[in-house]
Structure 1
Amino acid sequence: MHAGSHPTGGGSARLQLLVVSLISSLVMLDSNVVAVALPTIARSLNADFADVQWVITAYVLPFAALLLAAGSFGDRVGRRFAALIGLAVFGLSSLACGLAVSPTMLNVARAVQGVGASLVLTASLALINHNFAGAERAKAFAFWGASLGIAITSGPIIGGVIASTVGWTWAFLINVPICSALFIAALGMIPESRDPEATGLDYAGIATFSSGLFFVTWAVIDGNALGWLSAPIVWRALGGAALLALFVVVELRQRRPMLDFAIFNSRHFIGTVFAMVGYAAGAQVMIFYLPLYLQNAFGFSPMIAGLAMLPFALPMFVVPRLSVHLRWLPRTLLCAGMAVTASANLAMAWLASAQASYMFFAVAMTVAGIGAGVLNGDTAKALQGALPANRSGVASGIGATTRFVALLFGVAGLGALLVGATAGRFGLAARASGMNPADAVALAKRFSAGDVDGAAAMLPPALRDSLGRSLQDAFHAGFSSAALAAAAVALVCLWLTWLLMERPTHAASAIAPADAGYIPGE
Structure 2
Amino acid sequence: MNRVNPRLTLLTASGVCSLIVLDTNIVAVTLPTIARDLGANFADIEWVVSAYMLAFAALLLPAGSIADRFGRQKTLLCGLSLFILASIGCGAAPNALFLDMARAIKGVGAALLLTSALASIGHTFHDEVERAKAWAFWGACMGVAMTAAPTLGGLITESIGWRWIFYLNLPVGLLLMAMVWRAVPESRDPQSARLDPWGSLAFSGSLLCLIWGLIEANRIGWSNPITYARLIGGALLLGLFVVIERLQRRPMVDLQLFRHPRFIGALLGMFAYAGCAQVMMTLLPFYLQNGLGFSAIASGLGMLPFALTMLICPRIGVRLSSRFAPATMMASGLALVGGGNLLSAWAVGSGGYLPFALAIAVTGAGAGLLNGDTQKNIMACVPRERTGMASGMSTTMRFSAIVLAIGVYGALLSSHTEHLLRGSLSAQGTQWLDQAQGIASRVVAGDMAAAMSLLPDSAQPLIEPLARQAFVGGFTLLLAVAGGLGLLGALVVGTLMRHPIPLAGSAPAVAATRRARA
Shared fold per TM-score greater than 0.5: yes
Q: What are the equivalent positions in structure 2 for 1:411-426 lying under 5 Å apart?
A: 411-426=406-421
Match of 1:514 among 495, 503, 506: 506
- Provide the C-alpha distance between the structure 2 equivalents of 1:252 and 1:315, rounded to a whole number of angstroms: 42
Change in CA separation of 1:460 and 1:351 when aligned onto 2, cut-off 3 Å: farther
Match of 1:347 among 336, 343, 349: 343
Q: Identify the residue that residue 245 of structure 2 maps to in structure 1.
A: 251
One-letter identity of the residue aligned with 1:514: S
Q: Which moved more, 1:17-26 or 1:223-232?
A: 223-232
Match of 2:112 among 119, 123, 131: 119
Q: Identify the residue that residue 478 of structure 1 maps to in structure 2.
A: 474
- Provide the C-alpha distance between the structure 2 equivalents of 1:113 and 1:423, rounded to a whole number of angstroms: 32
Q: What are the equivalent positions in structure 2 for 1:390-401 lying under 5 Å apart?
A: 390-401=385-396
- Provide the C-alpha distance between the structure 1 equivalents of 2:43 and 2:277, rounded to a whole number of angstroms: 28
- Provide the C-alpha distance between the structure 1 equivalents of 2:2 and 2:315, rounded to a whole number of angstroms: 25
- Provide the C-alpha distance between the structure 2 equivalents of 1:99 and 1:352, rounded to a whole number of angstroms: 36
Q: What are the equivalent positions in structure 2 for 1:164-203 lying under 5 Å apart?
A: 164-203=158-197
Change in CA separation of 1:35 and 1:291 when aligned onto 2, cut-off 3 Å: closer
- Provide the C-alpha distance between the structure 1 equivalents of 2:39 and 2:469, rounded to a whole number of angstroms: 34
- Provide the C-alpha distance between the structure 1 equivalents of 2:85 and 2:458, rounded to a whole number of angstroms: 53
CA offsets, 1:375-400, max 9 Å, x none? Answer: 11111111122211111111111111
Q: How high is the TM-score relative to the length of structure 2? A: 0.90
Secondary structure of 2:228 counterpart = helix
Secondary structure of 1:520 counterpart = helix
Offset at 1:14?
A: 2.7
Change in CA separation of 1:39 and 1:306 when aligned onto 2, cut-off 3 Å: closer
One-letter identity of the residue aligned with 1:402: M
Q: What are the equivalent positions in structure 2 for 1:93-492 lying under 5 Å apart?
A: 93-100=86-93, 105-132=98-125, 133-326=127-320, 327=322, 328-355=324-351, 357-435=352-430, 436-458=432-454, 464-465=460-461, 467-492=463-488
Q: Does the CA contact (< 8 Å) of 1:381 and 1:518 recur in 2? A: no
- Provide the C-alpha distance between the structure 1 equivalents of 2:293 and 2:495, rounded to a whole number of angstroms: 43
- Provide the C-alpha distance between the structure 2 equivalents of 1:439 and 1:46, rounded to a whole number of angstroms: 17
Offset at 1:370?
A: 0.6
Change in CA separation of 1:332 and 1:15 when aligned onto 2, cut-off 3 Å: same
Q: Which moved more, 1:32-41 or 1:446-455?
A: 32-41
CA offsets, 1:272-305, max 9 Å, x none? Answer: 1221122112111222221111112221111111
Q: Does the CA contact (< 8 Å) of 2:341 and 2:482 recur in 1? A: yes
One-letter identity of the residue aligned with 1:401: T
- Provide the C-alpha distance between the structure 2 equivalents of 1:46 and 1:481, rounded to a whole number of angstroms: 27
Q: Which moved more, 1:415-424 or 1:379-388?
A: 415-424
Offset at 1:54?
A: 4.2
Change in CA separation of 1:87 and 1:481 when aligned onto 2, cut-off 3 Å: same
- Provide the C-alpha distance between the structure 2 equivalents of 1:196 and 1:313, rounded to a whole number of angstroms: 40
Q: Which moved more, 1:320-329 or 1:43-52?
A: 43-52
Q: Does the CA contact (< 8 Å) of 1:143 and 1:320 recur in 2? A: no
Secondary structure of 1:194 counterpart = coil
Gaps of 5+ in 1: none
CA offsets, 1:243-291, max 9 Å, x none? Answer: 3222222221211111111000111011112211221121112222211
Q: How high is the TM-score relative to the length of structure 1? A: 0.89
CA offsets, 1:387-419, max 9 Å, x none? Answer: 111111111111111111111222222222223
Offset at 1:35?
A: 4.3
Q: Does the CA contact (< 8 Å) of 1:73 and 1:82 recur in 2? A: yes
- Provide the C-alpha distance between the structure 2 equivalents of 1:70 and 1:245, rounded to a whole number of angstroms: 21
Change in CA separation of 1:229 and 1:145 when aligned onto 2, cut-off 3 Å: farther
Q: Identify the residue that residue 17 of structure 1 maps to in structure 2.
A: 10
- Provide the C-alpha distance between the structure 1 equivalents of 2:63 and 2:31, rounded to a whole number of angstroms: 29
One-letter identity of the residue aligned with 1:161: L
Offset at 1:309?
A: 0.6
Q: Identify the residue that residue 496 of structure 1 maps to in structure 2.
A: 492
- Provide the C-alpha distance between the structure 2 equivalents of 1:243 and 1:343, rounded to a whole number of angstroms: 34
Q: Percent identity?
A: 42
Taking only aligned residues, the RMSD between alpha carbons, in angstroms, comes to: 2.8
Change in CA separation of 1:476 and 1:43 when aligned onto 2, cut-off 3 Å: closer
- Provide the C-alpha distance between the structure 2 equivalents of 1:430 and 1:45, rounded to a whole number of angstroms: 28
One-letter identity of the residue aligned with 1:477: G
- Provide the C-alpha distance between the structure 2 equivalents of 1:481 and 1:391, rounded to a whole number of angstroms: 41
Q: Does the CA contact (< 8 Å) of 2:35 and 2:446 recur in 1? A: no
- Provide the C-alpha distance between the structure 2 equivalents of 1:174 and 1:126, rounded to a whole number of angstroms: 26
- Provide the C-alpha distance between the structure 2 equivalents of 1:469 and 1:102, rounded to a whole number of angstroms: 30
One-letter identity of the residue aligned with 1:182: L
Q: Identify the residue that residue 82 of structure 1 maps to in structure 2.
A: 75
